[in-house]
Amino acid sequence: MMRVLLFVATNIAVLVLLNIVLFIVQGVFHVRLGGYSGLLVIAAVMGMGGSFISLAMSKWIALRTTGAQVIQQPHNEAERWLLDTVRSEAQKAGIGMPDVAIYDAPDMNAFATGMRRDHALVAVSTGLLHSMNRDQVQAVLGHEITHVANGDMVTMGLIQGVLNTFVIFFARVIGSIIDNALSGNRREGEGGGVFYFIIVMVLQTILGIFASMIVMWFSRWREFRADAGGARLGGRDNMVSALQCLAGNQGETTLPKAIQAFGISGAGGISRLFMSHPPIEERIAALRTMSS
């Protein structure tokens, strides 16, 4: 439940910050949005821009928040095997060699992030390396490589950007209608005053929650595709075995909230609508029905 609340709160906080900036610009510089068309343009710039700035910073944020160390030169046989396995799977998937990192955490997890397919980051926890055998780790790495090859990070950024755009736009349109009805002022696409600001913030909170449901639905769908890719690159039995191993870790993760949706295990939420990952039993069932 806390993971869900923090995910929603993070997205809402971004929208609140963007709107505060817009309100200040309008109030201080007396900038008018030019009706609904102008509002939609501003909303798109804010919604898409914020999303892609976050995506561009995703590797840096992931490394800083997890404390992951990129392997520049392997210090032991295990790190050498890890680099060789990622390189082999990246070549099979048709992408450039990602940066490979290890972060210290007891839970079994791995994630991939980055703005470009040919310059991504794949990181694994020490808990995963210590708890799984190499066949299982290979399948997990295949899962993460598939995320990169499918462009899932960029697609997530696009979806979040589009949703943010419409959240900003419709919150202000509806807020304007309510504010105009109560104050008697009629300005297309605009409102004014503290009451209008409060209305917009409340509407963005509500619309942001619904937007998060859509993002989580896509996240669950892409996990099935990544599992299938992990089965192709690392073997279906190995992918099933890895997920079975993860089942004992379900709900336990030390990944920062901002990147949990990119992890292999994904903690389940109190509501399926807000789960970034499908239940592991469903993922295993899907793999077992996959054609060889």
In the structure encoding, which two tokens stand for residue 260, read together? 């949990």
Contact 110, 263 (CB under 8 A): yes
How far, in Å, CA of 52 to CA of 63, rounded?
Answer: 18
Catalytic-residue membership of 144: yes
At 103 the three-state DSSP class reads: strand
H or E segment to which residue 137 belongs: helix 134-149
How far, in Å, CA of 86 to CA of 204, rounded?
Answer: 41
Residue 289's alpha-carbon distances to 18, 53, 105, 141, 239, in angstroms, are 45, 39, 33, 21, 13
Task: Pick the catalytic residue from 77, 79, 144, 252.
Answer: 144
Active site residues: 144
